[in-house]
Amino acid sequence: MSTVVISGASKGIGKAAAAQFIEAGHLVFNLSRTPADIPGIKNVLIDLAGTQARQKVTAFADSLQPGVLHLVHNAARLTSETVRSDDIDNFRSVININVIAPQILNAALLPKMNAGSSIVYVGSTLSEKAVPNSFSYVVTKHAMIGMMRATCQDLAGSGIHTACVCPGFTNTEMLRAHVGDSQEILDSIAAGSTFGRLIEPTEIAGTICFVADNPVINGAIIHANLGQIEN
């Protein structure tokens, strides 16, 4: 049985991934501000963007025994703003959860990760393109691909593999909140895929689990977007 640590597994993609890992027989920890209501999950309440994040993550890591460990960087923050925004505090808060938190987890947990472990970054279709009014999210999701590529190079020879799963527009609470729960906007977004629908969290979860179990996928960007219609 392997250990799986997922940031932000209380809802959306993270929750779906946690459920699939548990079903496969893994010991799964959710690191987030709110607990996940999944039977068998171990909730560790941490604000990964908070001032005490590093100390709390280190204390959690110290409680683990070395072994095969799969780390899934799923927690993310999405806000609405443009390059014209002067709200630097908001920009910094998005960077803290989307970029700094993954590295806090990497630094703390890598000493516990034996060969066969993995680090899976959950990026976005916006890791390689952009849309208006999502400036900080786009910037940080682009940074995540750089983190994954650097991780691959730095861990060469360790037996630990990494990849960045980039979901297309997925039917999550975060997306619905971002569009004000407008069904019209959601339908418009769904029409941008070749399947004419939003992706379900369980579909991305299955992709994450596959990547974690297959070291041949290393340093790779996995586009999980149903095929996007390019205009």
Task: Provide the domain count of the chain.
Answer: 1
Mean pLDDT of 36-48: 96
Residue 111's pLDDT band, with cuts at 50, 70 and 90, is very high
Greater confidence, 174 or 36?
36
- CATH number for 80: 3.40.50.720
Q: Strands of the chain (E only): list them.
A: 3-7, 27-32, 42-45, 69-73, 118-122, 161-167, 220-224
Residue 56's pLDDT band, with cuts at 50, 70 and 90, is very high
Task: Kindly state the tokens that stand for 85.
Answer: 């925004």
Q: Does any domain span residue 208?
A: yes
Q: Does any domain span residue 36?
A: yes
Q: Does any domain span residue 40?
A: yes
Share of the chain above pLDDT 70, in %: 99
Q: What is the pLDDT of residue 229?
A: 84
Mean pLDDT of 96-115: 98
DSSP one-letter code for 217: S
pLDDT at 84 exceeding the cut of 80: yes
pLDDT at 191 exceeding the cut of 70: yes
pLDDT at 187 exceeding the cut of 90: no
pLDDT at 70 exceeding the cut of 70: yes
Contact 121, 218 (CB under 8 A): no
Q: Does any domain span residue 186?
A: no
The CA distance from 114 to 95, in Å, is 29
Task: Kindly state the tokens that stand for 123.
Answer: 């990026």
Q: What is the pLDDT of residue 126?
A: 93
Q: What is the pLDDT of residue 98?
A: 97
1-27 pLDDT, tens digit each: 799 999 999 999 999 999 999 999 999
Q: Does any domain span residue 230?
A: no
Task: Label each residue of 3-29 as H, E or C.
Answer: EEEEECCCCHHHHHHHHHHHHCCCEEE
pTM here is: 0.94
pLDDT at 178 exceeding the cut of 80: no
Q: What is the pLDDT of residue 186?
A: 80
Q: Does any domain span residue 86?
A: yes
Q: Does any domain span residue 193?
A: no
Parent domain of 142: 3-169+202-224
Cα–chain center distance at 170: 13
The CA distance from 68 to 114, in Å, is 5
Q: What is the pLDDT of residue 14?
A: 95
Contact 4, 18 (CB under 8 A): yes
133-174 pLDDT, tens digit each: 999 999 999 999 999 999 999 999 999 999 999 998 888 777
Q: Does any domain span residue 179?
A: no
Residue 231's pLDDT band, with cuts at 50, 70 and 90, is low
Distances (CA, A) of 11 to 16, 65, 144: 7, 27, 21
pLDDT at 128 exceeding the cut of 90: yes
Q: What is the pLDDT of residue 196?
A: 86
